[in-house]
Structure 1
Amino acid sequence: MTTRPRVEAPPLPDEAQPELLDLEVRKELRGLPVGLAEVVARHLVAAAMFLDDDPALALAHGRAAASLAARLPATREAAGIAAYHAGEYATALVELRTARRMDGSPRYLPMIADAERGLGRPERAVAYLTDPSIETLDPAGHAELLMVGSGARRDLGQPEAAVVLLHDEATRPGEPRPWTARLRYAYAEALLDAGRPGDALRAFEAAAAIDEEEETDANERAYELMTQLAAEDARKATSTDEPVVATTSAPEAADASDAVTESGAVTDSAAMSDSAAVTDSLAVASSADVASSADVASSGDVVPGGAGTSSQEAAGGDVVAGGPDVAISDEASAEGDQDSGDSRESGGAKVVAPVLFDDGSSSLALLGTGEPADVEPEPARREAARPAGGLPDLSVLFSDLGLREIPAAERLPLGQEAPTEAKSEGPADDEDTGD
Structure 2
Amino acid sequence: MASRLIDEDPALAHEHALAASRRAGRIAIVRETLGITAYANEDFALALRELRTYRRISGKDDQIALMVDSERGIGRPDRALETGRAVDRSSLPTPVRVSLAIAMSGARLDQGDLELALGELEIPELDPDRAFEWSPALFAARAAVLEDLGRDEEAAFWAHRAEVAAEALGVDEAGDEELIVEDGLIEDEFFDVESSADGSAAGDSVTEPESADEDKGDDEDEVASEGVDTDALKPEPTVEDEVRELLGEIDADADAADSGTEATERDA
TM-score scaled by structure 1?
0.37
Q: Which has the higher contact order (CA 8 A, sep 6+)?
A: 2
SS of aligned partner of 1:178:
coil
**CA distance 1:195–1:86, change in 2 (3 Å):** same
**CA distance 1:77–1:168, change in 2 (3 Å):** closer
Which is higher, the Rg of structure 1 or of structure 2?
A: 1
* Structure 1 residue 103, shift from structure 2 partner: 1.1
Runs of 5+ unmatched residues, structure 1: 1-45, 216-435
* Structure 1 residue 150, shift from structure 2 partner: 0.4
* Structure 1 residue 174, shift from structure 2 partner: 5.0
CA contact (8 A) 1:106 1:136 kept: no
- Match of residue 50 from structure 1: 5
d(CA) in 2 for partners of 1:124 and 1:138? Answer: 23
- Match of residue 212 from structure 1: 167
Is 1:144 the counterpart of 2:64? The answer is no
- Match of residue 182 from structure 1: 137
CA contact (8 A) 1:106 1:134 kept: no
What does the per-residue CA deviation read over 1:163-212, in whole Å, with 9 as the maximum and x for residues that have no partner? 12213346425531111101111111111111211111111111011113
Q: How many corresponding residue pairs?
A: 170
Is 1:81 the counterpart of 2:36? The answer is yes
d(CA) in 2 for partners of 1:214 and 1:155? Answer: 30
d(CA) in 1 for partners of 2:169 and 2:131? Answer: 14
Letter matched to residue 98 of structure 1:
T
RMSD over aligned Cα, in angstroms?
A: 1.9
Between the aligned residues of both structures, percent identity stands at 35
What does the per-residue CA deviation read over 1:287-306, in whole Å, with 9 as the maximum and x for residues that have no partner? xxxxxxxxxxxxxxxxxxxx
What does the per-residue CA deviation read over 1:88-116, in whole Å, with 9 as the maximum and x for residues that have no partner? 10110111111111111011211111100
Letter matched to residue 109 of structure 2:
R
What does the per-residue CA deviation read over 1:358-403, in whole Å, with 9 as the maximum and x for residues that have no partner? xxxxxxxxxxxxxxxxxxxxxxxxxxxxxxxxxxxxxxxxxxxxxx
* Structure 1 residue 85, shift from structure 2 partner: 0.8
Letter matched to residue 153 of structure 2:
G
**CA distance 1:182–1:57, change in 2 (3 Å):** same
* Structure 1 residue 148, shift from structure 2 partner: 0.1
- Match of residue 66 from structure 2: 111
What does the per-residue CA deviation read over 1:53-94, in whole Å, with 9 as the maximum and x for residues that have no partner? 321111111111111111111111100000001111011011
Letter matched to residue 167 of structure 1:
E
SS of aligned partner of 1:168:
coil
Letter matched to residue 96 of structure 2:
G
d(CA) in 2 for partners of 1:91 and 1:211? Answer: 32
**CA distance 1:214–1:88, change in 2 (3 Å):** farther
d(CA) in 1 for partners of 2:43 and 2:168? Answer: 26
**CA distance 1:204–1:170, change in 2 (3 Å):** farther
d(CA) in 2 for partners of 1:97 and 1:163? Answer: 28
SS of aligned partner of 2:63:
helix
**CA distance 1:167–1:136, change in 2 (3 Å):** closer
Within a 5 Å distance, the mapping from 1:163-202 to structure 2 comes to 163-169=118-124, 171-172=126-127, 174-202=129-157
- Match of residue 49 from structure 2: 94
**Which has more helix, going by share of residues?**
2
What does the per-residue CA deviation read over 1:298-336, in whole Å, with 9 as the maximum and x for residues that have no partner? xxxxxxxxxxxxxxxxxxxxxxxxxxxxxxxxxxxxxxx
